[in-house]
Structure 1
Amino acid sequence: MLYVDIPTRNEFTLLADKRADACVSIYLKTTPVTQNAQASRIQMGNLIKEAQAQLEETAFDKRRLGALLDGLNDLLDDDKFWRFQANSLAVFATPDSIRTYRLANDLVSMAQVADRYHLKPLFRAITFPHSAFILALSENAVRLLEMNADLPAVELKVPGLPKDVASSVGRAPNNERVFSGRIRGMEGHNVRLQQYVREVDAALRPILAGRETSLVLAATGRLADVFKQICSYSNLLPETIAESPDHLTEAELTARTRPVLDNAYVQQITDIKALFEKRAGERRTTTDISDAARAATFGAIQTLLVNIDSVVAGFVDDETGAVSFADKDDAKAYGVIDEITARAFSSGAVVLGVRKEDIPGGHDLAAILRYPH
């Protein structure tokens, strides 16, 4: 089983705001296969030593360093923790605290040390979490499932979810006159489908409230159209699994959902690239790190694409956004693009962590600005 902890936007904000005398960020490739976890633990130990060496080079306080290493090594020695993993692990530690996130994404292993966390790779989990809710909807049954990465979806218990159209509206749709006496035949059928869908939507609201996970609909015909019209969840994807879900297993629904998620991601990147080209003619784009840093500092970035695998060491002035690049990536410097990412995010920008090939021109970042520069 894949154990996944997808950080919420609020959790990301708290991590981005954290400042300490030593903030260690570790990203590690892991495996959900418990018997193969030993290799990940060995790599984790190596990354801890790498972070330790960086801090020792700066003559970091030995007592504080000891507290930091105690927390990391306690995690390393926790057999139960390592039995339940996903495809990557993110660890954020100071001498006073430690946080972990198990991620479905495949991230590059690294250890970063600074006075703040290195969070850019974590945006991959927010940008493309490999997770989705699946609503399998027909007149005969309704199920809500949740899928993560490569594993089959699992059905969720949803209080108040109707079993079918008949139980929802009191009788199966047919050609009888409805209570008001004003609707017959197919129009009456449509009214009952709307009643059914409204009841389904109402039951889903407490489950989906505050979530940003995509919802994929598996339904056919008029029922699919009615649900799209009535659904109150803003993250319903436009592409539908246009098959009756009644005889589809959880594994089959998962297999049909993955390409829907892939298509949605590709379309999102395609749309941003097209907008980037349009805004370039209006002097509302930049791929320059220094320009992007100033724009992020003053809240001028509307949309930002960042390469999750690159690290450009340096400093960004808190007041002006001026960048000073560092010759060495050590415990004093931090990731400049990472800092740009955090500032853009805090000002309400749409931030996507992507691979380099998804960024216009193959740069380390591409920003669409709110106004010309």
Structure 2
Amino acid sequence: MIHYTLPTSSDLLELGAPRADALSIYLATEPTPEGRSLAVTTAKNAVDEAIRSLRSAERSRADQESLREQWNQIAADSKLWGNLANSLVIFLAPGFSHEYVLPNALGSKTKFGGRFDLGPLVRAVTTPQRAYALTLSSSGWNLWKATESSRATEFPLAGEHAEDVADATNRTSIRGRQLLRRLGGDEGQKVLLERYSQVVARAVREELARVDKTHQVPLFVFASEPLASMVVGQGLPGEVVTVPGAADELRPDQIDAAIRERIGGITTRRLSRIANQIGDGVAAGLAATDIAQVARAAAQAAVGTLYYDMTADVRGVLDETTGAIRLDPEGENLLAAIALLVLANGGEVHAVRPGEIEAEIWNGQLLAGLRQPLI
């Protein structure tokens, strides 16, 4: 089944259950003929390798053909391959297949074993990828929105607003010196641009207040100077990121790419601030970094927020009832298992990459903010 939206926490828990012959494929993709061809070939190679693993383990031909059949159905799905974005996630097992087409970039990797590899997908689900954008020039402006599951598209406006600088200043043009009369030359144009920026900023505040009352979503401003500084100076909502350059000719895919290139830095700063706040609770027993302690807290539904390094490979066995762990190089990914247990008990999870979190308490592997001290 193709998904163009991210999985919910319930979906992740279902996907995270033990499953025989589970093949996870993460692909960086491009929505071009060459990109589609490369994605198909890469995915097919991963399936071939998984089937060779089954053959080497002397598994039955029926097991091998079951996995192959799931792949053949996906390979023949023209809707899937004709609507790629920046990433494709494929989960395959005998009698089971799920695919996620995502606009955010995930690294390419494959894993074959007793569970699906959910690390990168957990990151996509729990790491904010939502943003608004303003494209602005003297000839017009537009609002845009980009989400975790869709590329940047124009944001539908609810109110009636001035369309350009002439409309905002009740003039047919700002260039004709005869029309400017008392506001002539460069100084006159600056006054008109200032007025225009005030009108646009007010419109942006009104429109975004309908959908983001707490200003949690960043706003990207695409504009050249002096308009960029002028409109930012009018007090735009939320965290504002300026992307310099002419905005008139930007395509939606270029706006989306610029947003996703920069939003990671915003996320890193936010998550680091939260990690530091968690660290303030060490003395009260409300923070833990030891894997055994965190696992036990997760089983007690005591973890409110969990950070874990999605690239770390700590193997073992987790008892989901007691939280007891046993290290075992042949076991499952313990950090991912703990993360799923936290989600199951209503906690918040953040899968992070090395170097992203700057907080004194962060040990590079695991951090839990606890709802109450461990018993």
TM-score normalised according to structure 1 size: 0.68
Unpaired runs of 5+ in structure 2?
A: 171-195, 223-227
> What residue is the counterpart of 1:75 in the other structure?
74
- Matched residue type, 1:365: L
1:292–1:320: structure 2 CA closer, same or farther, 3 Å change rule? same
Query: How far apart, CA to CA, are the structure 2 residues paired with 1:39 and 1:223?
Result: 42
Query: How far apart, CA to CA, are the structure 2 residues paired with 1:192 and 1:88?
Result: 38
> What residue is the counterpart of 1:327 in the other structure?
329
2:314–2:335 CA contact under 8 A, matched in 1: yes
Query: How far apart, CA to CA, are the structure 2 residues paired with 1:361 and 1:171?
Result: 53
> What residue is the counterpart of 2:352 in the other structure?
354
SS in 2 for 1:371: coil
Say which of 14, 17, 36 aligns to 1:17.
14
Paired residues, number: 333
1:28–1:43 CA contact under 8 A, matched in 2: no
Report the CA distance between 1:6 and its aligned residue. Answer: 6.4
> What residue is the counterpart of 2:160 in the other structure?
162
- Matched residue type, 2:287: T
- Matched residue type, 1:91: I
2:109 counterpart of 1:102? no
Say which of 289, 314, 317 aligns to 1:315.
317
> What residue is the counterpart of 2:111 in the other structure?
111
Provide, for residues 193-242 of structure 1, a one-character-per-residue CA deviation record: whole Å limited to 9, x for no partner: 9985676347x64xx89xx97554667668975763xxxxxxx5x22539
Report the CA distance between 1:70 and its aligned residue. Answer: 0.7
- Matched residue type, 1:200: E
1:137–1:5: structure 2 CA closer, same or farther, 3 Å change rule? farther
1:38–1:201: structure 2 CA closer, same or farther, 3 Å change rule? closer
> What residue is the counterpart of 1:337 in the other structure?
335
Report the CA distance between 1:56 and its aligned residue. Answer: 5.9
Report the CA distance between 1:92 and its aligned residue. Answer: 1.7
Query: How far apart, CA to CA, are the structure 1 residues paired with 2:205 and 2:125?
Result: 29
1:137–1:194: structure 2 CA closer, same or farther, 3 Å change rule? same
Q: CA RMSD in A?
A: 4.6
Query: How far apart, CA to CA, are the structure 1 residues paired with 2:162 and 2:246?
Result: 13
Provide, for residues 56-114 of structure 1, a one-character-per-residue CA deviation record: whole Å limited to 9, x for no partner: 67776764653333112332455664454344321123333311113432324121322
Unpaired runs of 5+ in structure 1?
A: 173-188, 229-235
- The percentage of counterpart residues that share the same residue type is 21
Say which of 179, 189, 207 aligns to 1:200.
207
Provide, for residues 117-153 of structure 1, a one-character-per-residue CA deviation record: whole Å limited to 9, x for no partner: 321211232344666331447998552324589x9x7
1:61–1:47: structure 2 CA closer, same or farther, 3 Å change rule? same
Query: How far apart, CA to CA, are the structure 1 residues paired with 2:276 and 2:4?
Result: 29
Q: How does 1:42-191 map to 2 (within 5 A)?
A: 42-52=41-51, 63=62, 66-76=65-75, 78=77, 81-82=80-81, 84-103=83-102, 104-114=104-114, 116-128=115-127, 132-136=131-135, 142-147=141-146, 155-156=153-154, 158=156, 160-164=158-162
Provide, for residues 177-198 of structure 1, a one-character-per-residue CA deviation record: whole Å limited to 9, x for no partner: xxxxxxxxxxxx9x99998567
Q: How does 1:249-288 map to 2 (within 5 A)?
A: 249-250=250-251, 257=259, 261-288=263-290
Report the CA distance between 1:271 and its aligned residue. Answer: 0.8
SS in 1 for 2:240: coil
> What residue is the counterpart of 1:185 in the other structure?
none
Query: How far apart, CA to CA, are the structure 1 residues paired with 2:108 and 2:201?
Result: 47
